Amino acid sequence: MAPQRKFFVGGNWKMNGNKKEIDGIISFLTAGPIDPNTELVCGVPPCYLEYSRQKLPASIGVAAQNCYKVAKGAFTGEISPAMIKDIGAEWVILGHSERRNVFGESDSLIAEKVHHALSEGLKVIPCIGEKLEEREAGKTEEVVFHQLKAIVEKIPSDKWDHVVIAYEPVWAIGTGKTATPQQAQEVHGKLRQWLSENVSADVAQKTRIIYGGSVTAENCRELAKEVDIDGSLVGGASLKPDFIHIVNASQ
């Protein structure tokens, strides 16, 4: 991680937890100790967003795991950025591989969601990443650049400080397989170069690009040492007390 970019860790709880389990997570996060130089955000199921925001320390951000592309209307089952803000949450995760590959969300829909969320004042963690067959076919760059381009075209120029990009190779999510630090750094470096060439050198230098895909207390420090890896987006491991080691990986 470059020193000018603050280390960022997202704990994506996915569809896990109840009030009792969430109280346990909040307990170990509150006890810490958490590196004050790390920005920590928890991605919470929608029905527990307000509960978690009220219980977590103010220094820990709260993210929705999805939202829709308009403020309100006849969209059963969806939530809007305005609703997320209204209960005190500040962030939203968009375009996670499970949204793309389980629920069939397209690049264009995700880009529209990113645009609306930013325009409503939320901070956004847009996710990109290739499947195993795409990596094996040598298409990693083609896939992630295509996904990134769709999103970047919808980010207003004055909103880049509200964006943290997550690179999550689909083949490494929940599989126990992790991209080596070198594999992850290679893609992160290429993404930063793409931003420099297609947005601006300033945006490329300042924007945090975090890694997701079977990040653990064992591998987090090696990942954090890489110059273009600015943190991690963590799934199942964020539900366990060892998550504190991941949060503190840059110490």
Given a cut of 70, whether residue 83 has pLDDT beyond it is: yes
- 7: helix, strand or coil: strand
Name the β-bridge partners of 158: none
* Marked catalytic residue, from 96, 115, 116, 188: 96
Given a cut of 90, whether residue 163 has pLDDT beyond it is: yes
One-letter amino acid at 11 equals G
**Domains in the chain: boundaries:** 7-14+61-248
> What phi and psi, each to the nearest 5 degrees, are found at residue 90?
-120, -15
Yes or no: say if 214 and 177 are a contact pair by the CB < 8 Å rule. Answer: yes
The pLDDT tens digits of the residues spanning 55-77 come to: 999 999 999 999 999 999 999 99
Q: Dig out the tokens for 249 from the structure.
A: 């990986």
Yes or no: say if 29 and 9 are a contact pair by the CB < 8 Å rule. Answer: no
Please give the pLDDT value at position 251. 87
CA distances to 61, 79, 221, 246 from 85, rounded to whole Å, are 12, 11, 33, 27
The pLDDT tens digits of the residues spanning 142-156 come to: 999 999 999 999 999
The pTM for the full model equals 0.96
Question: Cα(10)–Cα(39) distance, rounded to whole angstroms?
Answer: 8
CATH topology of domain 7-14+61-248: TIM Barrel (3.20.20)
Q: From the CA atom positions of the chain, what is the Rg in Å?
A: 17
Helices (H) and strands (E) in the chain, counts: 11, 8
Q: Dig out the tokens for 34 from the structure.
A: 């958490």
- 11: helix, strand or coil: strand
Yes or no: say if 233 and 199 are a contact pair by the CB < 8 Å rule. Answer: no
Annotation says 168 is catalytic: yes
Please give the pLDDT value at position 4. 82
Question: Cα(87)–Cα(19) distance, rounded to whole angstroms?
Answer: 17
Question: Cα(210)–Cα(215) distance, rounded to whole angstroms?
Answer: 11
H-type alpha helices, 32-93: 49-55, 81-86
One-letter amino acid at 42 equals C
The pLDDT tens digits of the residues spanning 90-126 come to: 999 999 999 999 999 999 999 999 999 999 999 999 9
- 124: helix, strand or coil: strand
Yes or no: say if 155 and 114 are a contact pair by the CB < 8 Å rule. Answer: yes
Given a cut of 70, whether residue 2 has pLDDT beyond it is: no
Question: Cα(167)–Cα(184) distance, rounded to whole angstroms?
Answer: 8
Annotation says 146 is catalytic: no
Peptide bond into 33 cis (omega under 30): yes
Question: Cα(75)–Cα(154) distance, rounded to whole angstroms?
Answer: 22
Given a cut of 90, whether residue 178 has pLDDT beyond it is: no
* Marked catalytic residue, from 112, 130, 134, 168: 168
The pLDDT tens digits of the residues spanning 192-213 come to: 999 999 999 999 999 999 999 8
